[in-house]
Chain A
Amino acid sequence: MIFGNFFHKMASPPWFYRVSGKMLPWFGGAFALLLLWGLYGGLYLAPADYQQGDSFRIIYVHVPAAWMSLFIYVAMAVCGVISLVWRIKMAEVVLISSAPIGAAFTFLALATGSLWGKPMWGTWWVWDGRLTSELILLFLYLGVIALHGAIEDRQTAARAVAILAIVGVVNVPIIHYSVEWWSTLHQGPTVTKLDKPSIHVDMLIPLLVMALAFKLYYAWGLLIRARSEVLERERNSKWVRDLLGEP
C-alpha cells in the first residue's frame, strides 16, 4: 500500500509543499522535452494532409487542448467528491487551482479551432455541436471561478465550488449530446476509433506526444498554483512561518 500511503501523506499541506517542490522541475523539464519532440514531429516530420495541406497541423495544439479541457473538468469533479466526502483540504486546493488552467485549455481549443475553421470551413465560427458544447464548458469553468471569487470565506467557497463541479460534471454529457443532436458539422472522432484509426501513424505519434506534454503541463501548472494556494491558506500556521524565516 505504498501508493495509498503516498496519497495519505499528500493530504497534509506541509508534506505536499515539500514533495511538490521536488517534483516541480521534473514535471517542467519533461513537459519541455515532450513539447519540443511533439512540435518537431508534428510541424516538421509529419506529412502534410492530402486534403487540408499544412493547415491540419493545428490539431497538435487543438486536439490535446480539447482533451485536457474535458479531463480537467472531470478531475475537478473527482476532487469535489473527495473534498465533500472525506474533507481533505488538499482536494479543495487542487480543485480550485485546476479551474483557471482548465478554462485556459478550453479557450485555447476554441481559439485554435476558430483559426482552423477560417481556411477550412470559410468562417471563424459556426454554431456546430462540438464548438457550442466546448463554449458552454468554458462558461461552466468561468462559473466555478466566479463563484469561488465571490465567496469570501475560503472553506465555504471551496465546498460550494465542489458542489458546483459535481453538478456540472453530471450535466456535461447531457449538454454535449443535446448540442450534438441539435446540430453538427464538426468531423467525427478520428483517433479513438478502436478498430482502425483514420489517422496515419506518422501523424498520430506527435499528437499523442503533445497530449502527454499537455498533461504534464497541467501537472506542472497545477503544482505551482496549488503551492501558492497552500501557502496563502496556511499563512498563519507554524510551518509556513518557519519556511519564511519569520518569528
Chain B
Amino acid sequence: MSLLRAFLALLRRDLVIAFRRRSEMVNPLLFFVLVTSLFPLAVGSQPKLLSLMAPGVVWVAALLAALLSLDTIFRSDFEDGTLEQLLLSAHPVSVLVIAKVLAHWLITGLPLLLVAPVLGNFLGLPSQAMGTLMLSLAFGTPALSLIGAIGVALTVGLRKGGVILSLLVLPLYVPILIFGAGAVGNAAMGIDATAQMYIMSAFLILSLTLSPIATAAALRVSLS
C-alpha cells in the first residue's frame, strides 16, 4: 500500500468511526456554546463590556473545547490495540499521525469554526470581525490539535491522564491564544490584523512540520 493510500485509508476510517458515534462529535461543540454563554452570566450583560471581551471569550472557549476533545485522538485506538498496529506498519508514523490529527480536526475543530460567528454575534462582536474570527480559528484550531497530539501521545498510557494533559498542553497554547484573540480584537476595532494572521499561519506551518515527529516519538515511548 502506498503512503498516500494508507494516509487516506486511515483518514477515512477515523471519519467513519466518528460518524457512527455522533454524540462524541457534538460534545465539544456543546461545551463551546455552554462555556461562552457562562461569561455573560458571570460578568453581567452590559453590551459594551461583552463586545469588548468577545474575541477573548470566544477564543478561550474554543481552546478549552479543543483541549476537552484532545483525548479522543488516540485513546480508543490505544485501548483496542490499533495504535500498536499503526506503529508496526511500514509507513512513517509521523505521516499517519497527521492523518489522525486531520480527522480529529475535521470532526471537532471545523464545527467550532462554523459555530463561532453565531457565538460572536451573541456577545456583540462587530460584524466586520467575523471573517477574521473564522480565519484565525481556521489557522489556530489545527495548530491546537497538532500540539495537543504530543500531549495526548505522552499521556495516553496513563489512567488519569486528563489533568496532566491540560498541564502539559495549555502552556504551549499561549502563543496561539495571544495572536488569535489579538487578531480578532484588532479586527473588532477596525485595525488591520494581517500581521497576526501571518504569525498564526507561521505557527500552523511550524506545528504541522515539527509536532508529528514529536508525537510519533512520544507514541513509541508510551507503547514501549
Residues of chain A having any CB pair with chain B under 8 Å: 84, 136, 139-140, 142-143, 146-147, 150-151, 155-156, 159-160, 163-164, 166-168, 170-171, 174-175, 178-179, 181-182
- Whether B175 and A139, one on each chain, are in contact in the complex, defined by CB atoms closer than 8 angstroms, is no
Which residues from chain A contact B214 at a C-beta distance below 8 Å?
163, 166-167
- Whether A140 and B221, one on each chain, are in contact in the complex, defined by CB atoms closer than 8 angstroms, is no
Contact among A84, A139, A182 for B178, CB-based, below 8 A: A182
Which of B10-18, B126-134, B158-166 lies at the interface with chain A?
B158-166
Task: With CB as the reference atom, state the residue of chain A lying closest to B172.
Answer: A171
Assembled-state Cα–Cα distance A164/B179 (Å): 23
Interface on chain B toward A: helix, strand, loop, or mixed SS?
Answer: helix
B169 to chain A, nearest CB (A): 9
25 example contacts (A-B, Cβ-Cβ < 8 A) are as follows A84-B217, A139-B167, A143-B168, A147-B155, A147-B168, A150-B161, A151-B158, A155-B224, A159-B224, A160-B154, A163-B218, A164-B154, A167-B172, A167-B211, A167-B214, A171-B171, A171-B172, A174-B175, A174-B203, A175-B171, A175-B174, A178-B174, A178-B178, A179-B174, A182-B178
Which residues from chain B contact A84 at a C-beta distance below 8 Å?
217
Which residues from chain A contact B203 at a C-beta distance below 8 Å?
174
- Whether A156 and B164, one on each chain, are in contact in the complex, defined by CB atoms closer than 8 angstroms, is no
Assembled-state Cα–Cα distance A174/B218 (Å): 21
A4 to chain B, nearest CB (A): 27
Assembled-state Cα–Cα distance A136/B174 (Å): 9
Given A159-B221, A163-B221, A178-B179; A140-B155 close (CB under 8 Å): no
- Whether B217 and A139, one on each chain, are in contact in the complex, defined by CB atoms closer than 8 angstroms, is no
How many contacts A-B (CB < 8 Å)?
71
- Whether A147 and B175, one on each chain, are in contact in the complex, defined by CB atoms closer than 8 angstroms, is no
B98 to chain A, nearest CB (A): 17
Which residues from chain B contact A140 at a C-beta distance below 8 Å?
171
Which residues from chain B contact A146 at a C-beta distance below 8 Å?
164, 167-168
- Whether A143 and B171, one on each chain, are in contact in the complex, defined by CB atoms closer than 8 angstroms, is yes
Task: With CB as the reference atom, state the residue of chain A lying closest to B166.
Answer: A143
Task: With CB as the reference atom, state the residue of chain B lying closest to A174.
Answer: B175
18 further contact pairs, Cβ within 8 A, besides A163-B154, A168-B172, A179-B178: A136-B174, A147-B168, A150-B158, A151-B157, A156-B157, A156-B221, A156-B222, A156-B224, A159-B221, A159-B224, A163-B150, A164-B168, A166-B214, A167-B172, A170-B210, A171-B175, A178-B179, A179-B174
B168 to chain A, nearest CB (A): 5
Among B150, B155, B175, max chain A CB count under 10 A is at B175
B31 to chain A, nearest CB (A): 22
Assembled-state Cα–Cα distance A182/B210 (Å): 24
- Whether B222 and A160, one on each chain, are in contact in the complex, defined by CB atoms closer than 8 angstroms, is yes
Which residues from chain B contact A160 at a C-beta distance below 8 Å?
154, 218, 221-222
Task: With CB as the reference atom, state the residue of chain A lying closest to B217.
Answer: A163
Task: With CB as the reference atom, state the residue of chain B lying closest to A171.
Answer: B172
B200 to chain A, nearest CB (A): 11
Does B33 sit within 8 A of A, measured CB to CB?
Answer: no
Which residues from chain B contact A164 at a C-beta distance below 8 Å?
154, 168
- Whether B224 and A139, one on each chain, are in contact in the complex, defined by CB atoms closer than 8 angstroms, is no
Which residues from chain B contact A150 at a C-beta distance below 8 Å?
155, 158, 160-161, 164
Assembled-state Cα–Cα distance A170/B171 (Å): 13
Given A146-B164, A156-B221, A163-B218; A139-B210 close (CB under 8 Å): no
Among A140, A142, A160, A171, max chain B CB count under 10 A is at A160
Assembled-state Cα–Cα distance A142/B170 (Å): 12
Among B155, B171, B174, B175, max chain A CB count under 10 A is at B171
Does B182 sit within 8 A of A, measured CB to CB?
Answer: yes
CB-CB contacts of B185-224 with A at 8 A, as 1s and 0s? 0000000000000000001000000110010011001101
